[in-house]
Chain A
Amino acid sequence: MRWVLVALMVAATVLADLLQSHEMKQAGEQSVTARGFARLLETIARRRLLILGIACNAVSFLSFMALVQTEPLSFAVPASSASFVLETALAKFVLHERLGPRRTAGALAVLAGVVLVGG
């Protein structure tokens, strides 16, 4: 059961972030003032893929809640970092972001750190 939850959580997280990153770049610069939040909610209501992204967040979140109830955090946190690797690769190949050596090295250091903290 625990690997089913991990797989569900990772797949949902990856899809959520790809959809949200893609849609928000297209929607243009947002802010977090009261007016900014109103505009952000309006943007979400208009973009179906953004709503799908949020639904994926909900699936990922509920899987994580269920996972930490039965498994130790020291398993759940490093397991969830699998999405970090997948997302960074997909950011390059699907979203066409330019990673460069510095960003790649930094991302690898963060990944190693997350595994150490969780393990």
Chain B
Amino acid sequence: MSNLPSRSGALLKTYVILAFFLALKALGNSAMAWGMKQVPERMSVNPALYLHAMLNPFVALGVAALAVSLLVRMALFSLADLSFVLPVTAIGYVFAVFLGKVFLHETVTEQRWLGTLLIFAGAVLVGSTSRDTTSPKESRQP
């Protein structure tokens, strides 16, 4: 019982970092999608085209936000299993549907709402499991 506070502290930290990651990812993806639509050239294997696309300020903002989100996700990997991080970060899809509905006034089909509900339920289910099953101190708990 003595290590209970530190363990729940680590759990809280995991969810704070998760929320930070989801916010950065939503910002990055939106900026990137908006910017890429303004870029006239079609992407190919030529790296110069990608560098040129990044001159668009929205693409640049998107790349910066997604680069930081990558670092934040790595911090998340230090706290939780890969099989935990993958489903819980899928909550991002739920955000995307709500953001599209509220801010961009997109029509959300029944199929999308069902998918959103399944992602949310699945993420909650995975979120209720022990976040780290490989570190020695965590594997001692039942």
Contacts and interface: CB of A to CB of B under 8 A. Distances in A.
Interface residues of A, number: 55
Given A106-B122, A110-B122, A32 B83 contact: no
Contacts of B133: 97-98
Contacts of B118: 109-110, 112-113, 116
Contacts of A25: 77-78, 134-135
Contacts of B66: 61
A98 B129 CA distance: 10
Interface string B69-96: 0111111011101111111001001000
B74 A29 contact: no
Nearest to B43: A66
B60 interface: no
B64 interface: no
B75 to A, nearest CB: 4
Dominant SS at the B interface?
Answer: helix
Given A57-B70, A102-B128, A108-B122, 5 more contacts: A21-B82, A30-B79, A32-B71, A65-B36, A113-B115
Interface of B: 10, 13, 17, 20, 36, 42-44, 50, 53, 66, 70-75, 77-79, 81-87, 90, 93, 97, 111-112, 114-129, 133-135
